[in-house]
Structure 1
Amino acid sequence: MAIEYTPGPLLDAVRQFPTALWNDSADPDELRQSIAFGGVGATCNPSIAYTCIKQKADRWIPRIKELAEEMPDVTESEIGWQVVREMSVEAAQLLEPIFEEHKGRNGRLSIQTDPRLARSADALVQQAVEFSQLAPNIVVKAPATSVGVKAIEEATYRGVSMNVTVSFSVPQVVATGEAIERGLKRREAEGMDVSTMGPVVTLMAGRLDDWLKIVAERDQLFLDPGHLEWAGIAAIKRAYQEFQSRGLRARILNAAFRNVLQWSELQGGDLVVSPPFKWQQRINASDYKPVSKIDEPVDPKIMNTLLQIPEFVRAYEPDGMTPEEFDTFGATRRTLRGFLEADNDLDALVRDVIMPAP
């Protein structure tokens, strides 16, 4: 069936520039509309699955009950993750025509590895391989930690298109982009095909902004608070330049949307922007005119403010952190804890369905 596109700033932008639009949700209704806006990808994880179950309880609550009957020996967590798998497969099917048209570069559904496996590279690789087999157009998320860097390279070598997550800084993006590149080159050296692989490296721009705001409050910094809204943008622009100069084949993906700058300032780049659906609606209802800004530097006054914050410098300079320091970076710990809490929320939801309180 042909796609009926929705005119507006989003469609104008994706037709004018190589900047790709992905939907930060696997909800099928949202995804269909995002595709009509020009969207070519989407994502799923326990937090998204939890939200979808709550919003579409009439469909998913009965399915959880069925899964509990079909798999009487498994844990609540295993039932919850089976729902994540099923949601992901459904969303992936909506994107398959785009995947085929773009020969693997777009049309992908991103599914996240279980954050409870984040301490084991082998476990992350095994789950990445398993998830990649759910549908031909799956891209698998693994964290930009010291363990994750190893898993990302190995999973790429095994043919998994990877999406880096829990990533907020230029050094994390560069380290994982290079890990993907090593994995691709290992495959090529053994005569294996990489032509249809579609790896991306996420920089969670909004979560870097969030962390620096916490740091500014913690350290009682006297600065223009509006300048902190540009931290993630500055990091992505620097990371994009690094990828271009290093010849890395993975694309940067902007996530953790906080403001429209994360759309407008990245236009023109060969990268991915993944706003929540509500932001897509907001942008498309505006009078925004797409302009290429990826190569425009952030205002020097703003950069002067940001570069006075040591935590920003660590996040901005390509060698600002070692992989071991990724693990203790404040945004990393906050985000991993949040993902673990989302796992717990999904477990609790399943528990309430299969064993309601008396």
Structure 2
Amino acid sequence: MATNHLLEIKQFGQSIWMDNLTRDLVKSGELKDMVTNQGICGITSNPAIFEKAIAGNVIYDADIEAGVRQGLPTYKIYESLVFDDIRNACDILRPVYDSSDGLDGYVSIEVPPTIAHDTEATIKEARRYYQEIGRDNVMIKIPGTSAGLPAVEQVISEGINVNVTLLFSVDSYVESAWAYIRGLEKRAAEGKDISKISSVASFFLSRIDSNIDGKIDAKLKGIDDANLAAKLTAVKGKVAIANAKIAYQEYKKITQSDRWKALSAKGANVQRLLWASTSTKDPSYSDVMYVDELVGPDTVNTLPPSTIEACADHCDVDNRVETGVEEAYQLIESLKDPDINIDIDKVMDELLVDGIDKFVKPFESLMQSLEEKVNKLSPV
């Protein structure tokens, strides 16, 4: 029997979660098989994933029709479908949650992306989602925006598990880590248990390389200087992994801080870095490069089904998250070279705006397609 390399990754302290959730996966037993036999120990979802899962899929029609009969508005019908899928996935992953003492076994669901810049609305929806789904192993996704981070702090203080999403820059990751810490400190100051709260910081990868590679390709057009071309080409496909390795160094600094050690002594769980956006967009790159290069302790990698399949087949597993760290710092610094001249902070800002848009558009599209289906199924 061929080796499933996904199972090797766990030995290095990294958990593999799947970036996909559909009712078909749940109902067919495929998800349970992946959890039981293939080393999958968590699920992440987002509005784009649910749009693909629900739009045009007849498996949801009976429940949509039931919602129409109850006179529910379209948004509530959407929630009923999604919450049901999340609950069922949580139940399948509950044995993982129990056996790992709450380290793994989580299913993530995002608050509506349309409220990414509204702190109070995010807090309100995170509370409601957590209560209505009613599973200890649900994790509420909140974007790491300037409005999202105060919401992270507040809901962590209330005992709600949080997946801080859409993190691109190292600074934004560090801010999310301190938001988590402040939330725990607030809860601990109230004399409440902090040992049952979990959080991950979703640090995005492939979108960074896609953005920067596009800028490099534009600069390469019309260049005759071989040395300059080589200097530019050397950056391609390297920035996301370098950025992630630097973020991991920041994670280590944070967990060595006195503030963290005080919380750890009270039973707090570390906020693990989660590598997201891990499917390779450029076919000339290895389809598992965002897995192979970032295996290491206290991390999570969330993979779409195609990358899960590829990694099970041919990942080259080793602890590499702390290899080439000096080179990572040098690579990021090299972007300031006048010959390269890429403003990484500007790139990260662009990616955050674009990232929210990539969730808002499918969310609105799904609402529209559901509305059309509701109208068709509604009695005249």
Give me the TM-score of the superposition, normalised by structure 2: 0.81
**Could you say what the CA RMSD is over the residues aligned between the two structures, in angstroms?**
2.6
1:333 aligns with 2:333: no
1:187 aligns with 2:197: no
Residue type at the aligned position of 1:262: Y
- 1:292 corresponds to which of 315, 319, 327: 319
The answer for the alignment partner of 1:230 in structure 2 is: 238
The answer for the alignment partner of 1:94 in structure 2 is: 92
Instruction: Measure how far apart 1:333 and its partner are.
Output: 0.9
Instruction: Measure how far apart 1:311 and its partner are.
Output: 5.1
Q: Residue 335 of structure 2 contacts residue 342 of structure 2 at CA under 8 Å; is this kept in 1?
A: no
**Helix, strand or coil at the partner of 2:211:** helix
Alignment of 1:170-249 (within 5 A): 170-216=170-216, 224-225=232-233, 227-247=235-255, 249=270
List per-residue Cα deviations over 1:214-236 (Å, max 9, x = no partner): 44456668554563322111111
Q: Which runs of 5+ in 1 are unaligned?
A: 317-325
- 1:344 corresponds to which of 345, 355, 364: 364
The answer for the alignment partner of 2:263 in structure 1 is: none
Residue type at the aligned position of 2:185: K
**Helix, strand or coil at the partner of 1:267:** coil
Give me the TM-score of the superposition, normalised by structure 1: 0.86
Q: Residue 49 of structure 1 contacts residue 87 of structure 1 at CA under 8 Å; is this kept in 2?
A: no
Q: Which shifted more, 113-122 or 45-54?
A: 45-54
Q: Which shifted more, 143-152 or 255-264?
A: 255-264
**Helix, strand or coil at the partner of 1:285:** helix
- Distance, in Å, in 2 between the alignment partners of 1:307 and 1:84 is 44
**Helix, strand or coil at the partner of 1:42:** strand
Q: 1:10 and 1:310, CA in 2 relative to 1: closer, same or farther beyond 3 A?
A: same
Residue type at the aligned position of 2:172: Q
Q: Residue 188 of structure 2 contacts residue 194 of structure 2 at CA under 8 Å; is this kept in 1?
A: yes
Q: 1:199 and 1:193, CA in 2 relative to 1: closer, same or farther beyond 3 A?
A: same
Q: Residue 117 of structure 2 contacts residue 146 of structure 2 at CA under 8 Å; is this kept in 1?
A: no
**Helix, strand or coil at the partner of 1:201:** strand
Residue type at the aligned position of 1:13: I
The answer for the alignment partner of 2:38 in structure 1 is: 37
Q: Which shifted more, 212-221 or 169-178?
A: 212-221
Highest CA radius of gyration, 1 or 2?
2
Q: Residue 121 of structure 1 contacts residue 147 of structure 1 at CA under 8 Å; is this kept in 2?
A: yes
List per-residue Cα deviations over 1:294-332 (Å, max 9, x = no partner): 11025468556545466564389xxxxxxxxx7xx1001
- Distance, in Å, in 1 between the alignment partners of 2:32 and 2:365 is 27
List per-residue Cα deviations over 1:208-264 (Å, max 9, x = no partner): 222323444566685545633221111111111101111162110001113312111
**Helix, strand or coil at the partner of 1:337:** helix
Q: 1:165 and 1:219, CA in 2 relative to 1: closer, same or farther beyond 3 A?
A: farther
The answer for the alignment partner of 2:283 in structure 1 is: none
Q: 1:95 and 1:7, CA in 2 relative to 1: closer, same or farther beyond 3 A?
A: farther
Instruction: Provide the identity percentage.
Output: 24
- 2:295 corresponds to which of 259, 267, 270: 267
Alignment of 1:1-358 (within 5 A): 7-14=3-10, 16-27=11-22, 28=26, 31-35=31-35, 36-54=37-55, 57-70=57-70, 72-74=71-73, 76-133=74-131, 134=133, 135-216=135-216, 224-225=232-233, 227-247=235-255, 249-259=270-280, 260-286=288-314, 288-297=315-324, 299=327, 302-303=331-332, 305-308=334-337, 313-314=344-345, 329-356=349-376
- Distance, in Å, in 2 between the alignment partners of 1:32 and 1:306 is 45
Q: 1:73 and 1:58, CA in 2 relative to 1: closer, same or farther beyond 3 A?
A: closer
Task: Provide the aligned length of Structure 1 versus Structure 2.
Answer: 338
- Distance, in Å, in 2 between the alignment partners of 1:22 and 1:169 is 22
The answer for the alignment partner of 1:320 in structure 2 is: none
Q: 1:77 and 1:214, CA in 2 relative to 1: closer, same or farther beyond 3 A?
A: farther
- Distance, in Å, in 2 between the alignment partners of 1:34 and 1:225 is 39
Q: Which runs of 5+ in 2 are unaligned?
A: 222-228, 261-269, 281-287
List per-residue Cα deviations over 1:10-62 (Å, max 9, x = no partner): 11221x2111100001233553343222111001222212222247x232122
- Distance, in Å, in 2 between the alignment partners of 1:307 and 1:161 is 38
- Distance, in Å, in 1 between the alignment partners of 2:13 and 2:211 is 30
Q: 1:315 and 1:12, CA in 2 relative to 1: closer, same or farther beyond 3 A?
A: farther
Q: 1:235 and 1:77, CA in 2 relative to 1: closer, same or farther beyond 3 A?
A: same
List per-residue Cα deviations over 1:80-107 (Å, max 9, x = no partner): 2332211111111111111111122210
Q: Residue 123 of structure 2 contacts residue 155 of structure 2 at CA under 8 Å; is this kept in 1?
A: yes
Q: 1:214 and 1:144, CA in 2 relative to 1: closer, same or farther beyond 3 A?
A: farther
Instruction: Measure how far apart 1:6 and its partner are.
Output: 9.0
**Helix, strand or coil at the partner of 1:202:** strand
Q: Residue 213 of structure 2 contacts residue 237 of structure 2 at CA under 8 Å; is this kept in 1?
A: no
Q: Residue 125 of structure 1 contacts residue 155 of structure 1 at CA under 8 Å; is this kept in 2?
A: yes
- Distance, in Å, in 1 between the alignment partners of 2:3 and 2:362 is 35
Instruction: Measure how far apart 1:77 and its partner are.
Output: 2.8
Q: 1:41 and 1:344, CA in 2 relative to 1: closer, same or farther beyond 3 A?
A: same
List per-residue Cα deviations over 1:242-289 (Å, max 9, x = no partner): 011111621100011133121111112310000101111111122x34
